[in-house]
Amino acid sequence: MKKLLLFIPIVMMLNSCGPSLYRQDLNQVDADADGWIARTIPPSQVTTSGDMFFEEKLSNGGSFSVGGYIDEDSTYWYNQLYQDSGWRKNKEGGWTNEILIPKNTFNSKGEKLIIRTNYTKIKRGYLYINLKKLVAVYFYPDEAGKGPTFNAFRVTINE
């Protein structure tokens, strides 16, 4: 009985304190954050007409919006996103997360040694937003025979 009486207050305390740990909305972001925020949106919502097509609240009460197609520097922002996510260019000109190691290097089990960097997987159908750089990159889902495509957009901080 004593154990039960001790158990009930502990459960009540955890129940009242627990939600405060998660009260902060995980979708809300800090305007001063320097990094890429990933949001999934369908391609039908993305527009290159220059109109705003995505908006989200910030933790400081403001918001940010995405819109305004960037044509000239889109490949630059695409490369920035990959590099910031831990990827690097390989010999073939594509992206890899493997570290260059000498050929024929094996581990103790005799398996070829491959070392991977700490990286973030870039997903199709996601909008990657950087509030410090005021830019967003959207990766369209693969289309048959067309290969993966992307576009870059301006980000506006709305106070």
What is the per-residue pLDDT across 79-98, written as a single tens digit (0 to 9) for each? 899 888 887 777 677 776 66
Give the CA dihedral 41, 44, 134, 96, nearest 10 degrees: 70
* Confidence at residue 15, expressed as pLDDT on a 0 to 100 scale: 43
Question: Contact at 8 Å (CB) between 29 and 56?
Answer: yes
Residues of the chain with pLDDT > 90, as a percent, come to 36
Q: How many Cβ atoms from other residues are within 10 Å of residue 97's Cβ?
A: 18
pLDDT one-digit tens code per residue, 109-122: 777 656 556 667 78
- Using the 8-state DSSP alphabet, how is residue 60 labeled? T
CA–CA gap between residue 38 and residue 144 (Å, rounded): 24
pLDDT at 25 over 90: no
Sheet containing 150-158: which strands, arranged edge to edge? Answer: 36-40, 126-130, 135-139, 150-158, 63-70, 52-57
User: Which residue in 23, 62, 33 sits closest to 128, CA to CA?
Assistant: 33
Report the range of poorest mean pLDDT among 7-21, 40-54, 68-82, 141-155: 7-21
Mean pLDDT of 15-26: 35
pTM of the model: 0.67
